[in-house]
Amino acid sequence: MRLNNQVKVGLATAFCLILQGYIFTYVLKVEPHILLVIAPLIPYILYIYARGRRTWYYNKPFYWIAAIIAITLIDLAPYVWNALGGSGLS
């Protein structure tokens, strides 16, 4: 079974959202701002918008998946840094 590009990007988004929620809730035990929680959705929404234009970046799903993963890691980074004893968030 072959998945189309939209399904690949959608699955990556769903996986990152679930993983991020699990880490925030059960590992770090913090309640981040809602904008941080939904940030991985932004590249997916932009991908859906680009779909209608059929531009070069629509046909490159791994760029979009990399952007979603990067945003997820950037969202987690300050909280992980704080949990490891680094200065930063109070």
Q: Is residue 68 part of a domain?
A: yes
Q: What is the pLDDT of residue 48?
A: 87
Q: Which two tokens stand for residue 48?
A: 């859906």
Q: Does 82 have pLDDT greater than 80?
A: yes
| Dihedrals phi, psi of 85, to nearest 5 degrees | 100, 5
- Interval 17-34: pLDDT, tens: 999 999 999 999 999 999
Tell me if 40 is assigned to some domain: yes
Q: Which domain holds residue 51?
A: 30-84
Tokens of 27: 């590992």
| pLDDT of the residue at 51 | 76
> Model confidence at 74, in pLDDT bands (50, 70, 90)?
very high
Residue 36, in any domain of the structure = yes
Q: Has residue 19 been placed in a domain?
A: no
* Number of domains, the chain: 1
CB 38 within 8 A of CB 85: no
Amino acid at 83: A
User: Residue 47, exposed/middle/buried by CB under 10 A (0-12, 13-18, 19+)?
Assistant: buried
